[in-house]
Structure formats: C-alpha cells, structure tokens
A and B are shown apart, each in its own frame.
Chain A
C-alpha cells in the first residue's frame, strides 16, 4: 500500500451555537487517510461522524456552525483556506459523497443517466454525447445494464438506487469518497450485494474512502483503518486488524462487548453504563470518564492526549499515557 497521505486532519474543532449554549460537535480531531485506503469512521449517534465529514467538504452550515480550529490538508493543500468557489470545483471532482438514503439523494424528476451526465458536464470538459457514453459505462461498472440509464429513480429498487448513487459519486473519478452510512437503509442481503460491489470497486479503482457507520461488522468487511469516535473526538485509531484483535480504549472494548455475538452463547450482554454526554454538556476531563469502568482521578480533570501504541495505532486514554511515560508496557 502506498504510504502517501491524501487527507490529514489536524486538531479540527467544530462548534454549533444553539439556544441553550454551544454544542462542541468535534473536538481536537486528528486523522490521516492515505492513498487507496478505506477509513472506517465508527461511533454512536451524535458522536460527530457526519459533522466531521461535512467539515471536510466545508458544508457546515454557518451560522450556527463554525470550524473554530484546525487544518484539513487534502492533497497537500489546506481546504479551510479555500474560497467557496475553489471548494465547489473540488467537491464532486476530487471529493464526492454517498449519502445514507438513496431514496432522497436522487432527483426523482431526472433519469439516472442524466444525473450522472450533469455531474460530468459540471466538472469535465466533455460534450453531451461523450458524457452520456461515460454515464452508461459508470452504470455498467456498478452492475446496472446500460439500457436502464433512461429510467427514473422510482423504477429502481433500494439496492439499485444505491448503486446509482455510487455511480454518480464515482463519475469524475474522485480521489476521496465520503460514504455516510451507505448501506444502513438496505436489507441484509442487499447490503451484502452493495458491500461486495464497493469492495470490488475499491480494488479496481483504488479510490480512498471514508466510510461512516455505526456497524462494526461493515467496517470489518471493507475498511483498512478504523477510527472510533466518541463525543466529538477520535478515541482510538488503528488498522483494522489491530483494532479488532487488540482494542485498547475502554470505550472500544465496551463497544465490542455490547454487540451480540453470533458464535458465542452469552446470557447477558455487557453494558456500558450510562449515556453519551448531552451535546451541550462540558466535561472537564476525558469525555468518556463518567461511564468508564477504569476511570482514574486524572481522567476527570484533564483531557487525555494522543498516545501511540504503534505506528498506526493511537489512543486517547490516560491508562496508556501513564504506561508510555513509565516506559513499562504491561
């Protein structure tokens, strides 16, 4: 795998002003996506997954939202310094998005072929005929017969629509695709089809991808790296193998334990006590400390920094910070 950084997010913070205070949606987030790599973005509702994605695309509605801090370096340039106009030409061409709900992300009044053509005409210097030809090829690439390019979205089933959405996202051969829960709205067997397709395309095209999901199973199927998000920050980031085999952060461990397992019979599921913090709640220490079974005194007072357990494995937790300081790893 090529070790070139495609996207690097440094200390990103995003806030929203709401009626009863300020929501700290993303706090000091650090991430790297390499070329040809798929990064899984895992977290619960409200953990800030979608906000981060929106921040990368500079689509945070402002006001009330604001990127207060940080850098988003894409292909060597800081996206936060770009003008709206420059951003528009990047979006769709270099970065494109796949949305959760294929029912609402397609325009019901246009044929699917035209929707791909529109995208191509916007970003590429091609004429209509070439664009149509390319659109048909895109559809074939995602497993839809080219004759169907003249059909309208409602003539497709849910899984097929999501294929169309993928085709639109891939139309301009972007460098990075951000997929927000692309299979959540689909049935299990259809989800398997779409994931199969995505894995296939990943190998064929080598596009980098950020996959936002709450399902650790989907991440395991398709991702190379995984970032676990909790309350607006990445608490653990590692390669898939490391994260699944040796999860470090207490939250990651809790997350794995609370999923019912298919291969083990267990009477009770392990619970993480309590609830994620309210969006406006300010926790002085580690955001997970009120729910953490291994919470120490320091966790309640200070925010943990990044501790590298390995080159591609970092965790934000005092349990490991201490070990690293002491030089002795248990």
Chain B
C-alpha cells in the first residue's frame, strides 16, 4: 500500500570546529513513504536542519546512504544531481532572508525554471507557469512585479513555496516554514501546505521546534536530540504515550493555551542542552534524564522497534 520514497541509512554529518568534531547528524536511519509527512522535531542545535539539508545534498554527508526511489543520491555526479534537484526542493524558515531582496516576485519564482531547458528559452511559458503558481499558492497576480520587502511574512512564505513547487518536485523539505509567522498567518500557510500536499501528492519532511504544529501536519514524527533520533513513531502514539523521557519532557514543556494549564504536572528538565561538540559516550540525554542509571552513561542505546512502527532509543524502555 505504502511505497518508500526515501530511505536514509546511517547518515552522518560531522563538522570540524575549533574544539573538535561537531556531531550534527549522527547515524540517522529512517524512511519516508510516498505522500506522507514526516515531522522532525527537536531543540535548536539538535541537527534537524542539517538533516534536511543533507537529504537534498545542500550539505554533503560524511557517511551513509540516501535512497530516493531506490537510487542513492549521494552517488550522483554534478550533472545528474542538477537534474535530480527537480525532484526535491526546500522551503526555508525565514521568508526574509530566503528571498533575494533585489529580485521581484516573477524573478524569484521563475528562477528554478531557468535551469530547465524546456523553459529556458520560452518566456511565454515561464510567465504562464509563474502566474499559475501564484494562483496555486494564493498570491494575487498583480503583485508579480513587487519586491519581497513590499510583502508581509505570510505572502513572502507563499512566494518561497511557489518557488519550491515550480519544478514539480515529489519531495519537499520544509525547514520551520511557519516559525517566523504570526498565529493567524501560520494557520493559513499550514492549511495551504496541506492542500498542496493532497493536490500534488507531495511528500514532506517537516522540520520544526513547535510540537503542536508538527502534530497537526505530520503522519509520523521523529524526535531528535543532539544529532540522534531518540523516538520515532506515528503522531498519535507519540502524543498519547511518549516512551522516551526526553519526548515526555518536551511534550510537557509545551505551553498549552487553556485556562487550567498552569495546574498540570510538568517535567522541568534540569540544565541546558549539552554541546554537540565531542558528545560523551553513552546516552546523550543521560545528563538531564531523571531516570538515568549507570548503564545510560556508559552504553549508547540503539534505536529499536519496540512495537510495530514505534522506534525508541532508551535503555529504560524494554521489549
């Protein structure tokens, strides 16, 4: 029934920094089925954005394989990669810095088209496609000659989405696409993304630190902590019965807009997120984990399937 679109195996990305090796993405394995949305949540510095960028080779991974329709895209040469980019696009977090301030909407949306021979020499065709995209994402056509600074955040993000859709990709990496938007605009953009997904049968990797947004849009959710996936399962399981102590803490830390939310029991984690540079052996969460035992500090838990479709990396969770 469901078909694997993306399969990632043992993906690693380390950055050299002054003090040693920054383990941005450390041995990730997961898959995304065609037409589904995988949510990737975690706090800043946990490697979620790096994961998204490595997946579409904006950043080159150090190790591992990324299978797209069964083909390892890490092995593609420059020319093939260029063609391949049409299959996977990205929507960026900040609609202010992801649009070149000196280009107008037409130029911004048409840019990816210029790399396709079919469009490169046919101005009429490009124009038609751009206006079609503007209709799709809901930007009025009269704005075609406007510049990004003349638009509000929501419209800018729509331009970013139109640009990503221009080449008819199958897969979109959405890197915090609504984090910088106001609540009402956020709702509009989220609905737009969902509608587009149904209309064009898109597959999403939705990266966000906002759990309620991720829960709303994702089918399955992966929780990252310091370069590792600590828990991955479908969204209802994660929210109803989080298994990993970090997931539990993360969920209880969400401020809930309800009158009695101050009364609920919360797990307040001690300390800060440790640095991903030269992380310690053992479980990376052990230092902040309320249940940590001797074993957690020495042995790194592997991501195991504890129930069909539910993966967790914790010594505490048996089975």
Interface residues, chain A, with chain B CB atoms under 8 Å away: 44-45, 157-160, 187-193, 195-196, 199, 214-222, 240-241, 243-245, 254-262, 265-272, 275
Q: Known contacts A159-B272, A187-B43, A260-B215; is A217 also within 8 Å of B257 by CB?
A: yes
- Contact A160 B254, beta carbon cutoff 8 Å: no
B212 proximal to A (CB < 8 A): yes
Residues on the B chain within 8 Å of A272, using CB:
184, 187
- Contact A254 B256, beta carbon cutoff 8 Å: no
- Contact A220 B257, beta carbon cutoff 8 Å: yes
- Contact A220 B182, beta carbon cutoff 8 Å: no
Distance of A191 Cα from B255 Cα, bound (Å): 9
Q: In the complex, given contacts A216-B183, A218-B255, what are 14 additional A-B residue pairs having Cβ atoms less than 8 angstroms apart?
A: A187-B43, A189-B253, A190-B43, A199-B262, A217-B255, A219-B257, A244-B257, A257-B187, A258-B183, A258-B187, A261-B212, A261-B216, A267-B194, A275-B185
Q: Known contacts A189-B249, A260-B213; is A254 also within 8 Å of B184 by CB?
A: yes
Of B183, B253, B258, which is within 8 A of A192 by CB?
B253
- Contact A187 B209, beta carbon cutoff 8 Å: yes
**Nearest CB to that of A222 among chain B residues?**
B262
- Contact A269 B253, beta carbon cutoff 8 Å: no
**Nearest CB to that of A188 among chain B residues?**
B253
- Contact B43 A188, beta carbon cutoff 8 Å: yes
Distance of A271 Cα from B188 Cα, bound (Å): 6
Distance of A196 Cα from B44 Cα, bound (Å): 20
B73 proximal to A (CB < 8 A): no
Q: Known contacts A159-B272, A275-B154; is A244 also within 8 Å of B182 by CB?
A: no
Interface residues in B110-165 by Cβ distance below 8 A to A read 152-154
Q: Known contacts A188-B211, A192-B268, A220-B255; is A269 also within 8 Å of B216 by CB?
A: yes
Of B183, B190, B194, B253, which is within 8 A of A191 by CB?
B253
- Contact B255 A221, beta carbon cutoff 8 Å: yes
Residues on the A chain within 8 Å of B239, using CB:
262
Residues on the A chain within 8 Å of B44, using CB:
187
- Contact B254 A217, beta carbon cutoff 8 Å: yes
Distance of A218 Cα from B190 Cα, bound (Å): 22
Distance of A4 Cα from B93 Cα, bound (Å): 45
- Contact B259 A245, beta carbon cutoff 8 Å: yes
Return 26 A-B CB contacts under 8 Å, by A number.
A187-B209, A188-B209, A189-B273, A192-B269, A193-B269, A214-B182, A216-B183, A216-B257, A218-B255, A219-B257, A220-B256, A220-B258, A220-B262, A221-B255, A222-B262, A244-B257, A244-B258, A244-B259, A257-B187, A260-B213, A262-B212, A262-B254, A266-B216, A269-B190, A275-B154, A275-B185
**Nearest CB to that of B194 among chain A residues?**
A268
B62 proximal to A (CB < 8 A): no
Interface residues in B262-288 by Cβ distance below 8 A to A read 262, 266, 268-269, 272-273
Residues on the A chain within 8 Å of B186, using CB:
258
B69 proximal to A (CB < 8 A): no
Distance of A262 Cα from B249 Cα, bound (Å): 15
Of A45, A157, A243, A275, which is within 8 A of B272 by CB?
A157
B168 proximal to A (CB < 8 A): no
- Contact B250 A189, beta carbon cutoff 8 Å: yes
- Contact A220 B190, beta carbon cutoff 8 Å: no
A21 nearest CB across to chain B (Å): 16
A257 nearest CB across to chain B (Å): 8
- By size class, the interface of chain B is 35 or more
Of B182, B249, B259, which is within 8 A of A240 by CB?
B259
Of B187, B268, B272, which is within 8 A of A269 by CB?
B187
Q: Known contacts A187-B43, A217-B255, A240-B259; is A270 also within 8 Å of B187 by CB?
A: yes
B293 proximal to A (CB < 8 A): no
**Nearest CB to that of B180 among chain A residues?**
A45
Residues on the A chain within 8 Å of B98, using CB:
none
- Contact B194 A256, beta carbon cutoff 8 Å: no
A157 nearest CB across to chain B (Å): 4
Distance of A272 Cα from B154 Cα, bound (Å): 13
B191 proximal to A (CB < 8 A): yes
Of B188, B250, B258, which is within 8 A of A188 by CB?
B250
- Contact B262 A215, beta carbon cutoff 8 Å: no
- Contact B254 A188, beta carbon cutoff 8 Å: yes
**Nearest CB to that of B269 among chain A residues?**
A189
A46 nearest CB across to chain B (Å): 9
Flag B43-72 by CB within 8 Å of A: 1 or 0 each.
110000000000000000000000000000
- Contact B183 A44, beta carbon cutoff 8 Å: yes
- Contact A196 B255, beta carbon cutoff 8 Å: no
Residues on the A chain within 8 Å of B211, using CB:
188, 262
- Contact B212 A260, beta carbon cutoff 8 Å: yes
- Contact A187 B183, beta carbon cutoff 8 Å: no
Of B43, B236, B261, which is within 8 A of A221 by CB?
B261
Most buried by A among B182, B216, B257, B273: B257
Distance of A256 Cα from B257 Cα, bound (Å): 8
**Nearest CB to that of A267 among chain B residues?**
B194
